[in-house]
Amino acid sequence: MLKKLRWPDYLILMVLLAAAVVIWVRVEGVLVYEWRWHIIPNYLLRYDEEAGRWVTNLLTQGLISTIRISLMSGFLALILGTVLGVARCMQNLTIRMLARTYLEVLRNVPPVVVIFIFYFFLSEQLIAAFLIEDWSRTIARSDQGWIWALVFGDMRLFPSLISGVLVLALFESAFVGEIVRAGIQSVDRGQREAARSIGLSRLDELRFIVLPQALRKVVPPLANQFITLVKDSSIISLISVQELTYKTAAVVSSTRAIFEAWITAAVLYGLLCFGLSLVFRRLEGQASRHG
């Protein structure tokens, strides 16, 4: 790979820059937009006069919420996806068909539609059935409320958070399942035969021989899928889960600072995902060094 720019590269960059300037000038001429960047920092961190300290405001709250939701649904999706991946490789035809159906439905229906369906038909029912609404209100009011809040955020928003996490996890589990299946199938046949020949049960064979090797192989695609999940989490703002996208929309509707707020959200998402990919790349490098 060439590390040095040569004259054709400079030419390409100059052309792009020129195009950007032209577009900018035209937009400025046509669009009457007053940039108010100065209001944005206040929506990240706000000085609370009464408490006398800095507190997080909408955008940072949204970012934290996005991270929280991503971690929870990522964890859940990994478990569900592993089960699904294993189910896809089972001998039992019924189980295999069920897993396949689940996957095909999720892969061939747009995520927004899937999420609305999951939300109204599943989460709502679950939350009603298990009285989660009342339960979380009680906790929010109780003394130990802050411990719960540390993990789940504002407990009054718990029902919407839990539907968001569930919906996202169910959606992503289909893709995790495919990754896990590919990993399982990439494990050499001889490994299973050797496991069987020493008398290991099917469950032990899976647990001690096949899955550890399969999961190790699929760490890179799984990491990628997690980054996708972080980005996909913006969709659940549509079911009123108060994450970054939802909060940004709130900022926009109260300030009319459309570009500033959305660009800030984009930068926050971008930094988060880019940071994750850097971390994963480094971990991967370490893993491959240690064989």
Partner 1 sequence: MRESLGCGHVLGHDAQPEGDAWMQTDQPIIRIRNLDKYYDAFQALKNINLDVHQGERIVICGPSGSGKSTLIRCINRLEEHSAGQVFVDGVELSDETRDIRAVRQEVGMVFQQFNLFPHLTVLENLTIGPIRVRKMSRPDAEAKARLYLDRVHIPEQADKYPAQLSGGQQQRVAIARSLCMEPRVMLFDEPTSALDPEMINEVLDVMVELAESGMTMICVTHEMGFARKVADRMVFMEKGEIIEVAPPAQFFTNPASARCRMFLDQILEH
CA 213 to centroid of chain Cα atoms? 25
Q: Kindly give the pairing relationship between strand 53-56 and strand 45-48.
A: antiparallel
Of the candidate residues 59, 84, 139, 209, the single one contacting partner 1 (CB under 8 A): 209
**Least CB distance to partner 1 at residue 218 (A):** 14
| By CB under 8 A, residue 93 contacts partner 1 | no
267 CB neighbour count, 10 Å cutoff: 10
**Least CB distance to partner 1 at residue 200 (A):** 6
**Least CB distance to partner 1 at residue 291 (A):** 7
Task: Pick between residue 213 and residue 277 the one whose CB is nearest to partner 1.
Answer: 213
Concatenate the DSSP letters of all residues of 219-252 into one string. Answer: HHHHHHHHHHHHHHGGGGGGGT--SHHHHHHHHH
Task: Pick between residue 72 and residue 214 the one whose CB is nearest to partner 1.
Answer: 214
**Least CB distance to partner 1 at residue 194 (A):** 4
Task: Pick between residue 201 and residue 254 the one whose CB is nearest to partner 1.
Answer: 201
Task: Pick between residue 137 and residue 217 the one whose CB is nearest to partner 1.
Answer: 217
| Contact present, 18 and 241 (Cβ < 8 Å) | no
| By CB under 8 A, residue 208 contacts partner 1 | yes
| By CB under 8 A, residue 56 contacts partner 1 | no
| Contact present, 180 and 82 (Cβ < 8 Å) | yes
114 CB neighbour count, 10 Å cutoff: 19
Residues in the interface with partner 1 (CB under 8 A) total 19
DSSP state of 53: E
| By CB under 8 A, residue 291 contacts partner 1 | yes
Angstrom CA distances, 265 to 65, 96, 112, 233, 278, stand at: 13, 41, 20, 13, 20
Amino acid type, 205: E
CA 259 to centroid of chain Cα atoms? 24
The whole-angstrom separation of Cα 154 and Cα 1 is 50
The whole-angstrom separation of Cα 155 and Cα 277 is 31
Of the candidate residues 213, 224, 234, 277, the single one contacting partner 1 (CB under 8 A): 213
Task: Pick between residue 62 and residue 183 the one whose CB is nearest to partner 1.
Answer: 183
Task: Pick between residue 29 and residue 199 the one whose CB is nearest to partner 1.
Answer: 199
Of the candidate residues 101, 112, 212, 266, the single one contacting partner 1 (CB under 8 A): 212
Task: Pick between residue 93 and residue 198 the one whose CB is nearest to partner 1.
Answer: 198
| Contact present, 77 and 229 (Cβ < 8 Å) | yes
| By CB under 8 A, residue 284 contacts partner 1 | no
Taking each helix axis as running N to C, give the angle between helix 219-232 and helix 258-289, from 0 to 180 degrees, rounded to the nearest 10: 170
Q: Which of residues 163-202 bind partner 1 (CB under 8 A)?
A: 188, 190-191, 193-201
Q: Which residues would be at the binding site for partner 1 (CB under 8 A)?
A: 188, 190-191, 193-201, 204, 208-209, 212-213, 216, 291
